[in-house]
Structure 1
Amino acid sequence: MIPQRDVIDVVGTGFAVLDRLYADGDLAAEALGGSCGNVLVSLAMLQRQVTPVLALGLDEIGEQLLAEFEIAGADTRYIHRHPGRRSPVLRQELDTRSGHHSFSFTCCDTFEEYPRYQPIGHEELQSATVALENCTLFYTDRLSPAILDAMAQAYHGGAIIYFEPSDIDHALFDEALAITSVLKYSSDRLGPELDDKVAASAAMAIVTYGADGLELRHGRERIWSAAYPAKQVTDTCGSGDMVSVGLIDWLLARATPRLSGLDIHDLMGGVVAGQRLAAENCAFAGARGVFRQRDVSYVRSILEHARRDFPT
C-alpha cells in the first residue's frame, strides 16, 4: 500500500472496466479499460501520483482491475470492493486490417449480458475527502450526484477539473460545467448539444474530430490542431484517451500546474504531446497498446520530445 501523501497529482473516477479485446474474432487480451481506467493507469505508469476512486465488485474481475492499478503504482486505497456486486466488463471487437472497432456489453459466446459500470456513492466519496481536497487535477468521464460532489470538493481545493463526458446528464451537467477547467468532447457525438453551452462558459474545450484532428476553444476563440500522422494503423481505440494522458502529463509537469493565466495557445504543447502519443498507439492492438508493446521510457520519450518543441 502506498503511504499517505500530502499532495496527489490526479484523483479520478468514472468508467473503469475489464476490456475483453477480440482481434479478428479471437480473444486477444483482457485488460483494464474505459476512458477513466486508461487515463489513470497510464498516468500511474508514467510515475504520476494517481488515486482512483471506484466502486467494484468483490469478484475475480474486480481483483484483476485492482491488480492492474497496483502494478502501475497507483494508490488503490479508495477502490472499494462490494460483496454481491459484479465488476463491469466491456467487449471490444477489432478488425486489424481496417482498424475498425466496435463495443458491446454482451458475451459473444453465451450472449449473456455483462455487468455494467456503477458510479461511486456516498461511502466512496466520504472516504476520499482528503485526497480530493489535496489533488492537483481531478479527472472524470461520467457524472452522478456523488461524482459531481467529488468534482466540487476538488475544485474548492484548487484542483484543475478535467471532464470528458461521453453523454449528457442534463440534470447535473450545467453544475459540472460551471466548475470544469478543461472539457473534452466529440464534435460528432456531443457537439450539437454542447457547443453553445461551452462557448458561454469559462471552460477551455478540446473538441475532437476523429482522424482529422481537434479544436481548442475558449469562448469564441478557436485553434485547430491537425492529427499527427500515424505510421501504422492497427487499432484506433484509445486514441482520445492518449490525447488526455499527454495533456494531463504536460499540465502536471509545469512548475505551477494550476490553469490561472493560461489560454488555449498555452495548451498546445500538451495537446500535441497527446496527439503524438495517440498516433504511436494506433500501431498496436488495444487502448494502451504502446504501453504494453513498448516500455514506459519509450512513451516518456514521445512526451518529452513534444515538450521540447513547445516549452512551458
Structure 2
Amino acid sequence: MRAPSARVCHIDVAGTGFTVLDRIYADGDLAEEALGGSCGNVLVSLAMLRRQVAPVLTLGADDEGERLVDEFSQAGAHVQYIARREDVRSPVLAQELDTASGNHDFSFVCPDTREELPRYEPIGEAEVATAFPALNDCSVFYADRLSASILAAMRTASRAGALVYFEPSEIEEGDLLEEALSLTSILKYSEDRLGERLAGRRADCVQIVTYGAAGLEVRDGAEVVWCKAISAPRVLDTCGSGDMVSVGIIDWMLTAGIVGDSRPKVADLLQGIVAGQRLAAANCAYAGARGLFRSRGADFARAILCERYSAATM
C-alpha cells in the first residue's frame, strides 16, 4: 500500500458521511473490528485501488478514532482533513452476522454490555474550511449524509467543477435536501428505504435505484435501464454490497474521464455499474463490508473490476 503523501496533489475523490468502527459479531462472537459505514467503505476501498482520496470527517481523539485514521492512512488516503476532537467520541457500530444465512443486523447497542455505542457526528463549519483545498480540487465529491455543513462542502466542490455523488440512506424534508438534489450529478438510493420519499421530486441527474438482490434501475428522465444483479456463488455476508457497487461506479468514472463539468449519461455509467455488481457479488463470500479487500487485497479487487476474474472464481 502507498504511504500517504504530505504533498498536496489533485484529489480524485473527496467525501464525507457515515464512517464508523464496525465491530463484527459472527454467530454471537466478536470476530473483528474494521473501518465501516458507507462513506468509510467507499472512500477507503477507492484509496486501496490507488485513487487519490481525501476523507473529510469529524472523529474523536480516542483509540477508535486512531484506528479509523490508521486504516485510511494505510490505504493511502490523505488524512489531513480528518478532524480529531476531544469533545467527540468516534462512532462504533455493532454488526451481528448469521454466517449460515448471510443475514446481518446493525445496532448502536453493544451486544456484550447493552450500553449505547457512540454515534456518528457530521462535520462542522471548521472542518469544511480546513478541507477547502481538497473540496476545491477534487474530481468527485461523495456524501451519504446531509447537514448544513455537508451541504456547504457539496456546494464548494460542485462550484469548483466536481461531479457530486449523493447516496443517502436516510433523509429529512426541507431546503437542505432540495439544494442537495440540485447539486447532485448521480443520486443512488434504495427503493425500499427512500423510494416513496423521493418519488416525484425533481432531480436533474442520473438516478441509480437499488432493489436488493434483484438488481438496480438506472434512470435519467424517461430513459430507464434495468441491471440484473450478478449471482454470488457463495454467500457468507451480504453487508457492503451497495458500497461495492458505488466503488465500481466511481472508479470507472475516474478511469473513463467522466468527471468535471460533464453531466454523466446512463450509457456512460453502465460499464462501471456492472463492474461494481461483479465486485459486490464476489464480496459476499467474505465476512464484513470490505471482506474481499481485507482477505484478498486490492489487486484482486482490481482484477474483478477489470473482469480478469469473475465472482464465479471465488
Interval of TM-score (by shorter of Structure 1 and Structure 2): over 0.9
**Candidates 238, 241, 255, aligned match of 1:239:** 241
Amino acid at match of 1:213: G
Q: Secondary structure at the match of 1:280?
A: helix
Matched, 1:37 2:40: yes
Partner of 1:112: 115
Structure 2 residue 73 is the aligned partner of structure 1 residue 63: no
The equivalent of 2:292 in structure 1 is 290
- For 1:213, the equivalent position in structure 2 comes to 215
| TM-score normalized by the length of structure 2 | 0.95
Alpha-carbon offset, residue 292 of structure 1:
1.1
**Equivalent residue for 2:187?**
183
The code of the aligned residue for 1:50 comes to V
* TM-score normalised per structure 1: 0.95
> Equivalents in 2 of 1:32, 1:297: separation in Å?
19
Name the counterpart of 1:126.
129
Note the alpha carbon deviations across 1:236-291, whole angstroms, 9 max, x for none.
00000000000000001114533626411221001000000000000000000000
Contact 1:272 1:306 in 2 (8 A): no
The structure-2 alpha-carbon separation of the partners of 1:306 and 1:12, relative to structure 1 and needing over 3 Å to count, comes to farther
Question: For residues 261 and 168 of structure 1, do their structure 2 counterparts lie closer, same or farther at Cα, with a shift above 3 Å needed?
Answer: closer
Question: Residue 192 of structure 1 corresponds to which residue in structure 2?
Answer: 196
Query: Distance between the aligned counterparts of 2:91 and 2:34, measured in 1?
Result: 12
Match of 2:228 among 221, 226, 229: 226
Moved more, 118-127 or 167-176: 167-176
Query: Deviation per CA, 1:169-205, whole angstroms, max 9, x where unpaired?
Result: 21211110000000000001100111311xx321101
CA spacing shift, 1:210–1:153, aligned 2, 3 Å: same
Paired with 2:263 and 2:211, the residues of 1 have a C-alpha distance of 27
> Which of 290, 301, 304 is the aligned partner of 1:302?
304
In 2, Cα distance between equivalents of 1:201 and 1:215: 15
Are positions 1:2 and 2:19 aligned together?
A: no
Which runs of at least 4 in structure 1 moved beyond 3 Å after TM superposition?
none
Q: Check whether the contact 1:16–1:36 (CA below 8 A) recurs between aligned residues.
A: yes
Structure 2 SS opposite 1:113: coil
Q: Percent identity?
A: 59
Change (3 A) 1:103 1:293: same
Structure-1 separation of matches of 2:190 and 2:258? 29
SS of 2:15's partner is: strand
1:168 aligns to what? Answer: 171
Kindly indicate whether the alpha-carbon contact (under 8 Å) linking 2:18 and 2:144 is maintained by their aligned counterparts in 1: yes
Task: In structure 1, list runs of 5 or more residues that go unmatched.
Answer: 308-312
Residue 122 of structure 1 and its aligned partner are, at CA, apart by 0.8
Pair 1:266 & 2:268 matched: yes
Q: Counterpart in 1 of 2:54?
A: 51
Q: How many residues align?
A: 305
Corresponding residue SS for 1:107: coil
In structure 1, what is the Cα distance between the partners aligned to 2:304 and 2:107?
32
Counterpart contact for 1:273–1:306, Cα < 8 Å: no
SS in 2 for 1:170: coil
CA distance in 1, matches of 2:276, 2:192: 20
Contact in 1 for aligned 2:185/2:263 (Cα 8 Å): no
Once residues 261 and 11 of structure 1 are traced to their aligned partners in structure 2, the CA distance between those partners, rounded to angstroms, is: 18
Aligned to 1:310: none
Taking a change above 3 Å as real, the CA distance of residues 261 and 77 of structure 1, as seen in their structure-2 partners, is closer
Unaligned 5+ segments in structure 2 are 310-314
Provide closer, same or farther for how the CA distance between residues 161 and 224 of structure 1 changes in structure 2, counting only shifts above 3 A: same
Mapped partners of 1:18, 1:256: distance in 2: 32
